[in-house]
Structure 1
Amino acid sequence: MRGTVTWVDELTFVGEAGSGNSVVMEGGRKNNGIRPMEMILLGVGGCASYDVVTILQKARQKVVSCHCELNGERPDTTPAPFTRIEMEFVVRGSGLKETQVARAVELSADKYCSASIMLRNAGVEIVHSYRVEEV
């Protein structure tokens, strides 16, 4: 995996992944891009959400939508790494089995989500929960 981060101006940077996709990052002064720590939080949510949806699809569950609500806690110091991340998956579908959703979240947390496992191994407490909503 490769990428490039290029300084644009002031505290604005553009990151380009090896896939060719890019994202604007900013240090918070102008709020014209995602802050780098926000990208880490969103990356964890994206990685885990991908797992949950694909696991449920393989289990032939009728998933209509899934989103992950994230809350990251950081100390008021420098540096300020995450100390705790709470992830709540809201899975909507028709006739979803709660046991299947719970299993998908558990598999993501313990086996598949490289991003959350990496952070957990670095000492970040990661808490997973879920809600199932019928459509």
Structure 2
Amino acid sequence: MKATIDWTGDAGFKATSGSGHAVQVDGPPDHGGKNQGPRPMELVLMGLGACSSFDVMSILKRSRQDVTDCHTELEAERADAVPSVFTAIHLHFVVTGHDLKENLVKRAVSLSAEKYCSASIMLGKAGVEITHSYEVRAA
């Protein structure tokens, strides 16, 4: 896996993935940025959420669950000192569908957290306390 980062001026950077997709990253105005993109640590949090959501949906599809929506909310706490690393992250999955089996949603969230989500497992090994919750809604 590869990526490139190109400075775009002030506190802005263009991050390009090895697959060719780009994201504008920027800092807040009080740090010389123009607020034209997410902060680097926001990208880490977003990556974790996308990784785990991908796993949950993949597992539920293989379990033949009729999912119509999956919305994941993440909330993170960071250390007060520099480096301001994540100390705790909570992921809350809201899974909507037809006749969803709660035990399969719970299983999908657990499997993602404990076995499949590389981002979650990597952050957990770095000392971040990662917790999960879920709710199932009828479509």
TM-score (norm 2): 0.96
Find the residue that maps to 1:83 and give its secondary structure.
strand
Q: Secondary structure at the match of 1:123?
A: coil
Among candidates 59, 72, 76, match of residue 76 of structure 2? 72
Tell me what 1:54 maps to.
58
Point out where structure 2 has 5 or more consecutive residues left out of the alignment.
none
Which residue of structure 2 aligns with residue 7 of structure 1?
7
What is the TM-score when the length of structure 1 is the normalising length?
0.98
Indicate the RMSD between aligned Cα atoms, in angstroms.
Answer: 0.6
Any gaps of 5 or more consecutive residues in structure 1?
none
1:91-130 alignment runs, 5 A limit: 91-130=95-134
Deviation of 1:76 (Å): 2.0
> Displacement of 1:15 after TM fit?
0.3
Alignment partner of 1:22 is 2:22: yes
The share of aligned pairs that are identical, in percent, is 53
Distance 1:3 1:56 in 2: 30
Number of residue pairs matched? 135
Deviations 1:66-89 (A, max 9, x none): 011000100222110000000000
Find the partner of 1:34 among 35, 38, 45. Answer: 38
SS at match of 1:78: coil
